[in-house]
Structure 1
Amino acid sequence: MSLAGKIALITGVTSVMGEKFEPHETANSLAPSLIRTRAVKRITPKEIEAHHRYILVKRLGEPEGIANAALFLASDEDSLISTANLPISVSIQVGL
């Protein structure tokens, strides 16, 4: 399945879950870009540079950024956000 297909699937499932939940429950998803993890060590510098062409801030995201977004979406402070697919791409992602 292509990346676009996977994104569409996750967005669709999130939307359906949000519609099926009780009014006090929320369903959201995260769509991270390339994040600095152990897996990224296997990616060549040339591949990382190619990725940077699609984001405005030319750096990798950090795992803490994903964790903070997930904690926010799981918190009571997020009670009005539901069926959102939050892109975490170190700024606006273009060209997808």
Structure 2
Amino acid sequence: METINFKELEIKNIDGTTQKVDIANQLANVLYYSTNSIAAVSTALDIYKVGRATLDAETAIAVKEVLKKNFTAIVQLALNPILDQIINADAATH
């Protein structure tokens, strides 16, 4: 499990520089209304209220699915490695 701060997501600009963006409210709303996972609904509420959440494999998978359908590739490039690490770490312990 790992805590991700969605209010300060670091993305890479086209010129190679980085900037922090806040996707917390957008992600929380999309996750809340589109997931079929009860755990992900709880995660969406955490993201909405405080801007960050601690994810396990189930919630990381739900977030990854929402990202793929609703967010630009640059946001996916920033978050997918973190989400994959959570998913793979959980799989390694089982």
Which TM-score tier does this pair reach, normalised by the shorter chain?
under 0.3
TM-score, length-scaled by structure 2 = 0.28
Structure ranking higher on relative contact order (CA contacts 8 Å, 6+ apart): 1
Select the structure of larger CA radius of gyration.
1
Return the structure number with greater helix share: 2
Return the structure number with greater strand share: 2
TM-score, length-scaled by structure 1 = 0.28
